[in-house]
Amino acid sequence: MKILILGTVPNDLLNFRADLIKDILKKSHEVIASSSALDPNSIIHMNELGISYEPIFLKRHGLNLIDDIRTLISLLNLYRRQKLELILAHGIKLVIWGGISARISKTPFFALITGLGFAFQGTSFKRKLLTKLVSFLYRIALKNSKAVIFQNKDNRDLFIEKGIVPLSKTHIVNGSGVDIKKYFFTELLDTQVRFLLVSRLLGEKGLREYAAAAKIVKDKYPDVRFDIVGAEDASLDAISLEEVSSWSDYVIYNGSTHDVRPYIKKCHVYVLPSYHEGLPRSTLEAMSMGRPILTTDAVGCKETVEEGVNGFMVPIGSSKKLAEKMIWFIDNKDKIQSMGQQSRIIIENKFDVRKVNEEMIRILGI
């Protein structure tokens, strides 16, 4: 069987779906990955996976009719050229245009919803209009889909409530899973407490709240360290490097990386104050390496924390509450190790990538 996997960010596609791709290859299927043009590091990764890659025209952000038509045509040409037997797409743009292209070409299509994104957040008139438009496009794209796979119940229920998909077509999996051998348990370093946030530089990931909380904590505990690791982004919600630099008195920005493990190993507590997620991969990786989690009670985030067992949840947008829980970890440093061990247990029981991929392959029917 010839299978195409679509994703909006080449690096994320090849990293987050690498284990799934490997497990599909083990079943003697042919896998083609597709997104925008590859950077040099992604080319190396693709070659290591041993798959074909087909670049398409894709502008990740914004609604531009001409650009989106070009994406649609690019996908139709790809489907026709490759004579595909199954398509799996994730990311809003490629679920929508990949699904519409699959309807036109009559190719079996599966959608993976990894989060609702910018289009479903906010209450302004423009945001509500965008939500209506994106919901309409989703309905068209998913009408003939074989299955729609979600990473949390809240996202699935919203799609059903808005009439985008029927319940009978939906499935829920535990995120993308995490390779527990690659992200192995590590002991804490005997240093002052260090907090870490790994995220693209986006406002709705809670970076501003993280920085504000760090400033509060630093006033009381000047030796505590706060790190951010993540790439710039071009979305409407992007935070500029100039703004990030303005936090330098209390937050250390480390740029982007292709391997977060050294940063997780050096931290004591992983923080993600996001406004919404599908199921955050960076949090699962930190949990797998034995770190407690401080996150929000947002959709997707709350699935990663057993309150008081492996971490805490705080209200969305509250830097004050975030700071209070950071101070709790500093004052109760002796509890960080045991809470991190609980994170690892949760990962092994629920989020091991092997278990997640078994479920994915069952849903795909391959």
Q: Where are the domains of the chain?
A: 2-172, 194-351
Q: Are the C-beta atoms of 92 and 63 separated by less than 8 Å?
A: no
Claim: this prediction has a pTM higher than 0.85: yes
Q: What does the pLDDT read at residue 299?
A: 92
Q: What does the pLDDT read at residue 122?
A: 67
Same CATH topology for 2-172 and 194-351: the answer is yes
Q: Tens digits of per-residue pLDDT, 120-134? A: 766 677 778 888 999
CATH number 3.50.50.60 is the correct assignment for the domain at 194-351: no
CA distances from 308 to 224, 293, 303, 335, 351 (A): 22, 10, 14, 10, 19
User: H/E element holding 196?
Assistant: strand 194-198
Nearest partner of 218 among 318, 311, 319, 296, judged by Cα: 319
Q: What does the pLDDT read at residue 365?
A: 96
Percentage helix, strand, coil for the chain under 3-state DSSP, each rounded to 5: 45, 15, 35
Question: What does CATH list as the number for 2-172?
Answer: 3.40.50.2000
Taking the C-alpha atoms of residue 269 and residue 330, their distance in angstroms, rounded to an integer, is 10
Stretches in the chain below the pLDDT threshold 70: 118-119, 121-123
Q: What does the pLDDT read at residue 16?
A: 78
Q: What does the pLDDT read at residue 236?
A: 82
Q: What does the pLDDT read at residue 240?
A: 96
